[in-house]
Structure 1
Amino acid sequence: MYSMSRLLKESWALVEEQQDKVAGYFYARMFLSNPQLRDLFPVQMDVQRSRLLGAIVNAVQTVDDPEQFNEYLRSLGRDHRKFHTEPEHYETVGLALLEALRTYGGERWSPEYDQVWRDAYDRISRAMIQGAAEDADNPPFWYAEVVKHERRSRDIAVLTCQPLQPIEYEPGQYLSVETRYQPRLWRMYSSANAQRPDNTIDFHVRAIGAGWVSSALVRKVQTGDLLRLAAPMGSMTLDRQSTRDIVFVAGGTGLAPIKALLEELTKFNRNRWVHLFFGAKDRDDLYDLPALQELASRYPWLQIIPACSDDPGFDGEQGDVSDVITRHGPWDNHDFFVSGSPTMVKATMRTLAGLHVPSVRIKYDAFGDL
């Protein structure tokens, strides 16, 4: 039995430095084979060009661990229903991928490499097709009206949306969002609340430099606009069986899923102490601090620790939130939830490793518009 992981990494190394060219060739072959596929993609292909190829390569290279990734791939298949993806599209994508890899792999690309990519992609596509089929009773996406739009800081907005049909999700999960300003361009945002009787969902959004969707959600979307929301995904959810105390670590709008988990805890928690470390660059970016402090005043088990990394006048913790948590504790018997930018999450994970927190007790969500 060949080592699928070893062969995939070996073969990808042959083309990795040319991946922009690989991506260009990949899309050209895919659209030539099936011109209708072009309509599934956004007008601006510059960002999408690297996104899809990168997602396929990452998925292929994790295929050696089917138990861990099968459910993720099935949920990804459910999510891709928003693109109106059909089973035959997967075959077109797979053939275009293999042709692009062969072309840029050159003389060193072997039949063995060809077969391992074919096998890996086949596993992935079958799992995604299965996930889509299992979700056939649900719509591919939901329409939701923006019923409230608040600017909370220079570049942060909180949107409250009312889906026209109920969406079932677990606190801590995220949904893909599309606006009319950037059609066919979807980005993932976490719900910032637990399920409500009126089914409204809050999203916390920061507009970032080249973020087509985030900028539209913060600066263009208005009350009354309709968004499209795709199926909930993600596993950063509460384990109600655990009796351990909880530490939440949130950076910027990474607060959103943490706030949803907090709301869920208020429904049943009686004996688990909860610490929330909320980090930002300056006090202006601690955009939801008053609401968090009001929550802590009602629930004695909750403690809020805000921190600013670049605001010397802030009357609170100073420094990166990933470092601030080391000044408190001990944390040797806690469940951790970490949410923020990829940089913030990586720094926090390194800190927790240094504090000998077992990785099985850490759930995290690294998000970004790019």
Structure 2
Amino acid sequence: MRASVAVVGPFAGEMTVYFYAILFTRYPQVRGLFPDNLDVQRDRLLRGLLHIVDLVDDAENLVRFCSRLGKDHRKFGALHGHYPAVGECLLAALARYAGPAWSPELAAAWTHGYGVVAQVMMHAADEDALNRPAIWQAEVVHHLHRGHGIAEITVRPDGPYPYTAGQYASMETPWQPKAWRYYSPAHAPRSDNTLTFHVRAVRQGQVSRALVYNARPGDVVRLGPTQGEMTLDPGSDRDLVCVAGGTGVAPIRALVEQAARNGIKRYVDVFVGARTAEELYGLDDMLRMSQRHHWLSVRAAVSHERIAGLEGTLPRVLGEFGPWYEHEAFLSGPVDMVTEATAILARQGVPQERIHFDPFDVPALEASLRSRQMTDPAAE
């Protein structure tokens, strides 16, 4: 299976386009489950496949990943009958682009592998349906512009919304139906069941721009179940190092708030970064928290301004402090930042199981980083 992925790799974009084309042609009834613009969806399909193939020899993590997928797919309206259709078209797309490398043995391996994945996903979805809804309607109750295209948006779900500090939620807006995006609550769970998200308007990002510039109190969005494993281990006594870039400060802030609530007895170092000092979103809030908690230290970094004591990328500034080899690490922000910070921590001797980050739309990134850390701690 890994060999076949390598073969179709150069044609990955074409293959995913072909997959959706034949899926909608053969099974037009499923088209309504997908957004009008499939660009993000095609990318997620490819990355999900890469992650599954990467885990093919790791049954425990494969089941965990596919179970999360199955639960999350409930929000799309996925039914048992949809899985065979997807499998049929996926194998047809792989066969077309694998060319001569596609053999009866390879077809059998993919058929078996997809069957296992589908069964795990369906079982997880069925179990999840017994305990909670597939989606929550959530009313916008507060909307605050923070400048630089960032808004704090507070919503109130229509029922109890379980989550753990550090996790993230998927959100669908009325302006872009069926287009789901991921955002992290910027706090530990609240007694009033409200959730506050930090959203940056991304260029060409129709969902994020609608949330920042169009959303108003009274509007209703839909939430899928929370996901993510970047959470605190209450049984650990290790000090923490946290790195937050941009709106990645949201889950880090939630972790710090949860640590304070737990009566933490360990030290926490937080690094907050941005391109310029003016864009250091969330720094003032984190500094106020550090004044209330003696165990919390907060440092800032800017990458595109020459400011004494602040200049440098987040990973570089992180490397100037430490050592971190005895710490638990939490990373949140742009992909490049997470990748570089992971490499720096690995070089300092932090084992991969103590470096935590949630990849949102890039599960393949997580897989590749984990593999590199296990095989070569100094790899960049």
Provide the residue aligned with 2:71 in structure 1: 78
Question: Does 2:276 correspond to 1:282?
Answer: yes
What amino acid is the match of 2:301? A
Question: Does 2:224 correspond to 1:262?
Answer: no
What amino acid is the match of 1:174? Y
Provide the residue aligned with 1:126 in structure 2: 119
- Displacement of 1:335: 0.9
1:53-110 CA-to-partner distances (Å, cap 9, x unmatched) read 4323432342221112312211211111000100111110000001111122223311
| Alignment check: 8 A CA contact 1:340 1:365 kept | no
Which whole-Å CA distance do the structure 2 matches of 1:312 and 1:283 have between them? 10
Structure 1 stretch displaced more, 291-300 or 229-238: 291-300
Provide the residue aligned with 2:220 in structure 1: 226
| Alignment check: 8 A CA contact 2:44 2:362 kept | no
Structure 1 stretch displaced more, 232-241 or 330-339: 330-339
Which whole-Å CA distance do the structure 2 matches of 1:151 and 1:169 have between them? 25
Provide the residue aligned with 1:96 in structure 2: 89
| Alignment check: 8 A CA contact 1:82 1:230 kept | yes
Provide the residue aligned with 1:176 in structure 2: 170
Question: Does 2:250 correspond to 1:253?
Answer: no
Indicate which of 312, 317, 327 corresponds to 1:334. 327
Provide the residue aligned with 1:115 in structure 2: 108
Which whole-Å CA distance do the structure 1 matches of 2:161 and 2:16 have between them? 35
Structure 1 stretch displaced more, 100-109 or 239-248: 100-109
TM-score by length of 1: 0.93
| Alignment check: 8 A CA contact 1:63 1:124 kept | no
Structure 1 stretch displaced more, 44-53 or 203-212: 44-53
| Alignment check: 8 A CA contact 1:153 1:287 kept | no
What amino acid is the match of 1:155? G
Provide the residue aligned with 2:286 in structure 1: 292
- Displacement of 1:236: 0.6
What amino acid is the match of 1:291? D
Which whole-Å CA distance do the structure 2 matches of 1:60 and 1:223 have between them? 43
- From the superposition, tell whether residues 367 and 308 of structure 1 become closer, same or farther in structure 2 (CA, over 3 Å): farther
| Alignment check: 8 A CA contact 2:140 2:217 kept | yes
Question: Does 2:51 correspond to 1:20?
Answer: no
TM-score by length of 2: 0.91
Provide the residue aligned with 1:52 in structure 2: 45
Provide the residue aligned with 1:301 in structure 2: 295
| Alignment check: 8 A CA contact 1:173 1:190 kept | yes
What amino acid is the match of 2:104? P
What amino acid is the match of 1:47? V
Q: Which runs of 5+ in 1 are unaligned?
A: 1-7
Question: Does 2:161 correspond to 1:167?
Answer: yes
| Alignment check: 8 A CA contact 1:205 1:214 kept | yes
| Alignment check: 8 A CA contact 1:176 1:230 kept | yes
Provide the residue aligned with 2:344 in structure 1: 351
Matches within 5 A, 1:180-199: 180-199=174-193
- Displacement of 1:284: 2.3
Which whole-Å CA distance do the structure 1 matches of 2:271 and 2:260 have between them? 18
What is the percentage of aligned positions where both structures have the same residue? 43
Which whole-Å CA distance do the structure 1 matches of 2:320 and 2:8 have between them? 45
What amino acid is the match of 2:214? K
- From the superposition, tell whether residues 124 and 24 of structure 1 become closer, same or farther in structure 2 (CA, over 3 Å): same
Which whole-Å CA distance do the structure 1 matches of 2:326 and 2:101 have between them? 51
Provide the residue aligned with 2:234 in structure 1: 240
Which whole-Å CA distance do the structure 2 matches of 1:201 and 1:69 have between them? 30
- Displacement of 1:140: 0.9
Which whole-Å CA distance do the structure 2 matches of 1:267 and 1:51 have between them? 36
Structure 1 stretch displaced more, 324-333 or 303-312: 324-333
Aligned-residue Cα RMSD (Å) equals: 1.7
Which whole-Å CA distance do the structure 2 matches of 1:346 and 1:54 have between them? 16
Which whole-Å CA distance do the structure 1 matches of 2:356 and 2:201 have between them? 25
- From the superposition, tell whether residues 107 and 360 of structure 1 become closer, same or farther in structure 2 (CA, over 3 Å): closer
- 1:169 aligned counterpart, secondary structure: coil
- From the superposition, tell whether residues 330 and 46 of structure 1 become closer, same or farther in structure 2 (CA, over 3 Å): closer
Which whole-Å CA distance do the structure 1 matches of 2:362 and 2:45 have between them? 14
- Displacement of 1:24: 2.2
1:219-274 CA-to-partner distances (Å, cap 9, x unmatched) read 22222211100011111110111111111111111111111111111112342011
Which whole-Å CA distance do the structure 1 matches of 2:49 and 2:65 have between them? 13
Which whole-Å CA distance do the structure 2 matches of 1:14 and 1:331 have between them? 40
